[in-house]
Structure formats: structure tokens, C-alpha cells
A and B are shown apart, each in its own frame.
Chain A
Amino acid sequence: MISADCDLIRDDLDLFVDGELRGEELRRVSQHIEACRHCTDEIEARRNVGVSVREALLLSQSLQVPQGLASGIVTRIRAESAQSWRALFGRAVEDWHWAIVGGGAVAATFVSALICSALLVFGTVAPRAGSLSALGTSLRESPGALYAEVSRAGALRPEVMLVQLETSDTPLDPDPYPSVFNRDRGDEEREMVHALAETLAAHGGGIDLSSMSPDARKRAEWLFDNIVKLRGAETTTTPFGALRVYRLHLVTNTEVTAKGLWP
């Protein structure tokens, strides 16, 4: 006959059959079963299910493990590991030649990148003022410069001096010094060359252009243009002796234009 206690322990019957109950719970269920025919039958039924399952599964099928299972699996595992990425990597680095080449390429790339980065960050050293590099830079960056190639008259070998004169951005007056030179006189060109030589050179060397006044520059440029037009005299007298002017150049940015060629 089913009692209220049967309902209370119903959920514990499987635990009792499987030996999962301990302590007080085990004692309580055991006491109830001793006095309850219904629950004893329930436990017996559960045990019979277990017996049937064990007999059916363990007796009806051959439980013989396939022969050579372990060796087959180990062989397959070995084959798989030989195909793994780690094995491929291991075979690749066996040839150290490629490792060295690869490492060298990586190192060279790294060093190049480092140098380029340093140049970008710190920049290059500024050239010395008198160096060829500085002259080239000046030629490229200057808005324009006037040069005169001269030598001392009577010298066995021409001693060419290069005198640089910065040009002014201000447009030249077509005739800024009409009172200085008389255009009707025959010695006009000679005087102009003399004046130009005095303007461009002093004390045996070129004049420091930064110390030249804007008027002096305008005057030199005016002289230059007019000398080119007249193209007459070969030599002129200066405070440091007679000079022969070979060529005059006007350099504007990167273009060099020969404006006067003396025979």
C-alpha cells in the first residue's frame, strides 16, 4: 500500500539502487523500505532493469577488441604529425641556408628602415657656406645672380675670377644713370666695363654681395645690360690693375643665360 512516505522517498529510489545515498538519507530510505512492500518492489524492478541491460549488452555481442587497433592508431597519429604545420616548419628550417638568407633579408630591411627613419626625423647636415654643395644650392634657390669672368690684362694664362652678384627683384629703370655715361662718346663701353669691374671687384677679390647696397646692385645690372649691347672694349683699368672681361652671365634660378661673350 502506498503511503505518504512513499511519495517522499520516490525520487531517492534510483539513488538508493545506485548506492549514491549517504548518512541520514540512506538510513531514512532503508528504514522505509524494510517496512514498505511497494517501495521494495520498485527497487527490485529498477535492479531488474539493470540486470536485463547488463545481460543483454554484455552477453549478446562480441566484445572482442579489433586486432592491431593500437598499432594502427599510433601509425596514423605518426603520419598525421608528419603532416602537421610543426613538422613542415621543422623540415623547412633543416636547411639553414634559407634561414640565413631570410634572416639577412629581414635584418637589411630593418636597418634600411632605421636609417630612413633617422634621416626623416633628424634631417641631413647643412652644407658649409663655401662648399660646392652650398654653391649649387644657392644657384638653384637664388631668384637670380649676375656673374662676371675676368682676368688681369697681360697675364700669360687667364686667371678667371668668378664674382657673384645677386639681382634685385625690383624692375630695372630703363636708364637709371643717364648722367653718368654719355652715350655719344666713343669710350662709353670702356667706361662702362671699368665701372662694372669696379662694382664687382675690389681689393683683388669679389665684393661681398650682402654688403652691397640696392643702388649698387641696380647699377651693376644696368651696366651689364648696356655692356652686352655695346660689346666693345676688351680690357679696362681697375684700382687693382687692368682686367679683361671674358663673359658675363645672368643666372636665373636653374637657367644660365650667357648675355655677353667677349672675343
Chain B
Amino acid sequence: MKPIRVLAWSNTASADWALVQQCAQGDEDACTRLVTDHQRMVFQLSLHLLGEQQEAQDLTQEVFLKVFRMLPQFRGQSTLRTWIYRIVVNQASNRQRWWRRRRKSLQVPLEEHAAVHGELPDVRNFAMPDRVLQQREVAGRVWQALDALPFDQRAVIVLREIDGLSYEEIATSLNVAVGTVKSRLARARESLRLALGAQ
């Protein structure tokens, strides 16, 4: 039996490693390249996990600062993309916990709000075509259903359906077993089906 030999790293891994090394040495062009290569991915995932533009922008900055601070710890055991995904999910989880507590404490009953500020205006826009309105309505229901999911299930469904990560990549990003990804995904889909079908 012939011994197995590693002939070379994949192009992606070696390119990631070279970029990380350049950034760690303080190469500002490399740092800029790292951000521009991954900023859309980070911002999109942040937005889908948190659901708010401003929050997602703040989280994106926070994630990249974290990435640069933790670069010396990157060992190339996963791809740079997966490693960044993990940071996004961790930071979003922390921020989401904080945001939910804050939002709960700031919630005011509708009657109380109307008593102070008057009745809410009718926000329906009758100039929009029906198709657009229907799309928006469905999107609103999906957002509502996603918001109701536990964060770990929401993260799994977003990484799978939006970012198209494989089960193994999701497991690496969330630092869980592949079996856990499978069960979370199944539960998330079931919850969404029920939520979207019931409305």
C-alpha cells in the first residue's frame, strides 16, 4: 500500500494563507483586499441574522475589527470564508441577545402609543402593483417567521438557503457537529412551513 502524500495546498487555501500573512504583517493593501473580498458576504449574513440595516452595518464593522484582531490565531484549518462566517455568527448571536433584551424593554403597548402620539397612519400604498404588494406581504411574513425562530435555527437556515453552505461548512462555521446541523435545519424548515402555511 502506497503512503498517502499531500502534494500541495488547494489554491484557495494557499491564497487565503498568503492574504492572512500579508495582513498580519501590516500590509494595508492586503487588509483592504480582505475587507472588499468579504464585505458583501459579511454584510448580507449580518442583515439576514439581525434583520435591520443599521444593526447589520454596525455588526459588519465589528466583525472585520474582530477578524483583524484574531488573524494571528487563524491556522488555515478551515477556509478564510468559513472562519469569517463563524465570527459573524458568534458576534450576531451576542448582539442579537442584547438587542432582543433592549427591544423588549423598549416595547410600548399600541394603546399607550396611540394615547400619546395619536392613531397610526395607514401605510398601505395603493399606487403599487398587486404583484409587488403581494411579494412584500410574503416577505414580511417570512421575516416575521424567521424572527420567531431560535437564533441557532435561524443561522442554519440562512447559511444554507442564502449562502448555500454545505452541511459540513455550516457545522464548521457554527462549531457544531454535522448531525446537529441536520436536526436544526429540519426543525427550522418545519417551523417555517407551519408559520407560512398558517398565515
Contact = CB atoms under 8 A, between A and B. Distances in A.
**A and B found bound together:** yes
Interface of A: 11, 14-15, 18, 20, 45-46, 49-50, 52-63, 65-66, 69-74, 76-78, 80-81
B143 A60 contact: yes
Given A63-B40, A63-B44, A54 B35 contact: no
B19 interface: no
Contacts of A53: 142, 146, 157-158, 161-162, 192
Given A57-B142, A65-B39, 16 more contacts: A18-B160, A52-B142, A53-B161, A53-B162, A54-B162, A56-B142, A60-B135, A63-B47, A66-B43, A69-B35, A69-B60, A70-B35, A71-B32, A74-B32, A76-B65, A78-B28
Specify the main secondary structure of chain B where it touches its partner: helix
Interface of B: 26, 28, 31-32, 35-36, 39-40, 43-44, 47-48, 53, 57, 60-61, 64-65, 68-69, 135-136, 138-143, 146, 157-158, 160-162, 166-167, 182, 185-186, 189, 192-193, 196
A70 B64 CA distance: 9
B139 A60 contact: yes
Given A20-B167, A69-B61, A15 B35 contact: no
B76 to A, nearest CB: 21
Contact of B185 (A14, A52, A63, A74): A14
A57 B138 contact: no
B26 A81 contact: yes
Given A45-B193, A49-B193, A63-B44, A69 B39 contact: yes
Contacts, number: 108
Contacts of A70: 32, 35-36, 39
Shortest 3 CB-CB distances between A and B: which pairs?
A56-B142, A60-B139, A70-B35
Nearest to B63: A73
19 contacts: A14-B189, A20-B166, A49-B161, A49-B196, A54-B161, A55-B135, A56-B139, A56-B141, A57-B139, A58-B162, A60-B140, A65-B40, A69-B64, A70-B39, A73-B31, A74-B28, A76-B61, A77-B65, A77-B68
A199 B166 CA distance: 115
Contacts of B162: 53-54, 57-58
Contacts of B40: 63, 65
Nearest to B195: A49
Contacts of A20: 166-167
A165 B177 CA distance: 98
Contact of A73 (B64, B135, B161, B167): B64
Contacts of B31: 73-74, 77
Given A14-B182, A65-B43, A74 B142 contact: no
B139 A55 contact: yes
A57 B160 CA distance: 13
A59 B139 contact: yes
A69 B185 CA distance: 32
B138 A52 contact: yes
B184 to A, nearest CB: 10
Contacts of B32: 70-71, 74
A65 B65 CA distance: 16
A56 B143 contact: yes
B11 to A, nearest CB: 23
Q: Which of A46, A57, A61, A78 has the most CB of B within 10 A?
A: A57
Contacts of A80: 65, 69
Nearest to A74: B31
Given A54-B161, A77-B65, A62 B53 contact: yes
Given A20-B166, A55-B135, A58-B162, A66 B189 contact: no
A52 B192 CA distance: 10
A78 B138 CA distance: 44
A45 B190 CA distance: 10
Nearest to A17: B189
A18 to B, nearest CB: 6
Contact of A60 (B26, B136, B185): B136
